[in-house]
């Protein structure tokens, strides 16, 4: 009813009323209900005559779902996402708005968008919900989880200093660079100035096994079980396959891949005193009389 709004989440059905994308396919059995057959004949005008009398009751109807999405927030998120993608001449973009305490998703925006009422005018590349199907290198956003791991292990304090090599740090046959030449930075400053070399120094102190443990504990490398089709788990290689260069790259979010939904939920855990929530999209299921059945 709202044309493109939340189209990637809601999805669509085919001509046979069977779900093909989004919640329409993942929750198809709940939404569709059961069909029934009643014997009858048609008169010359095409009207049905029930030869065995009127049906005693209509076939069971499907249930309805109330989502956690906030229509106003969803509209603003999609509008700003479209503007940002166009401003930076990007090919696509996603946005996720989530309430950290409950895990309730208030908006999931994907651009380019499409109208589920006329889905055949687009194509599979536009239909997919990139917030859960696409994996990408998270980049410097990953430094947050590195810092959390080091703090949790008691290896560093926010004010501990790390020498950042004046912008160049060689690891085996690779050189890590910073955008600016930094000398000594605290952990807090490493995050503030997004120093790659500083992140590498913290990761070296933490070690690949402990860092890998926290990466997985934050939910990366596993499905979030959001209940939408095509969700990616991303790619986090086992710690015993990491070289010193792999550890360095992982410290600033390269050499591994995550989904936007995983990233949003992991950041929500930081805001939620370390408690990682499961994303909540379906708030309740109701029957035809509006009674909550789940």
* Residues with a known catalytic role: 140
Residue 88, both tokens: 């930076």
Residue with tokens 């044309």: 3
Distance, CA of 2 to CA of 76 (rounded, Å): 14
Can you list the alpha helix ranges (DSSP code H) found in the chain? 7-10, 22-26, 28-32, 71-87, 124-127, 130-133, 143-152, 187-193, 196-206, 208-217, 244-251, 260-271
How many residues can be counted in the chain? 294
Beta-carbon contacts of residue 211 (< 8 Å; ≥ 6 apart): 146, 149, 203, 239, 247, 250, 251
Distance, CA of 220 to CA of 257 (rounded, Å): 9
Whether 242 and 251 have beta carbons less than 8 Å apart is answered as: no
Distance, CA of 291 to CA of 63 (rounded, Å): 10
Distance, CA of 214 to CA of 217 (rounded, Å): 5
Distance, CA of 91 to CA of 112 (rounded, Å): 8
Judged by DSSP in three states, 113 sits in: coil
Spacing of C-alpha 10 from chain mean position: 15
């Amino acid at each position: 009813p709202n044309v493109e709004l939340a189209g990637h989440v809601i999805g669509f059905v085919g001509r046979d009323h069977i779900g093909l994308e989004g919640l329409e396919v993942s929750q198809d059995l709940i939404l569709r209900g059961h069909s029934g057959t009643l014997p009858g004949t048609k008169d010359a005008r095409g009207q049905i005559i029930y030869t065995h009398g009127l049906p005693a009751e209509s076939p069971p109807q499907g249930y309805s779902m109330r989502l956690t999405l906030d229509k106003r927030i969803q509209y603003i998120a999609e509008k700003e996402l479209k503007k940002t993608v166009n401003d930076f001449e990007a090919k696509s973009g996603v946005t996720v708005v989530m309430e950290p305490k409950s895990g309730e998703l208030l908006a999931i925006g994907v651009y380019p968008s499409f109208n589920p009422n006329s889905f055949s005018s687009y194509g599979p590349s536009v239909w997919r919900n990139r917030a859960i199907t696409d994996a990408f290198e998270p980049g410097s956003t990953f430094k947050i989880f590195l810092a959390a791991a080091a703090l949790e292990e008691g290896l560093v304090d926010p004010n501990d200093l790390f020498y950042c090599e004046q912008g160049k740090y060689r690891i085996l046959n690779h050189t890590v660079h910073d955008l600016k030449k930094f000398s000594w930075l605290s952990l807090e400053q490493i995050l503030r100035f997004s120093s790659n070399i500083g992140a590498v120094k913290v990761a070296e102190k933490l070690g690949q096994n402990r860092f890998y443990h926290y990466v997985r504990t934050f939910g990366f490398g596993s499905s979030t079980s959001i209940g939408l089709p095509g969700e990616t788990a991303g790619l986090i290689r086992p710690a015993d396959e990491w070289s010193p260069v792999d550890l360095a790259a992982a410290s600033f979010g390269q050499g591994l891949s995550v989904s936007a939904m995983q990233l949003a939920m992991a950041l929500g855990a930081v805001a939620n005193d370390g408690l990682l929530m499961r994303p909540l999209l379906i708030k309740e299921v109701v029957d035809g009389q509006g009674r909550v059945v789940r």
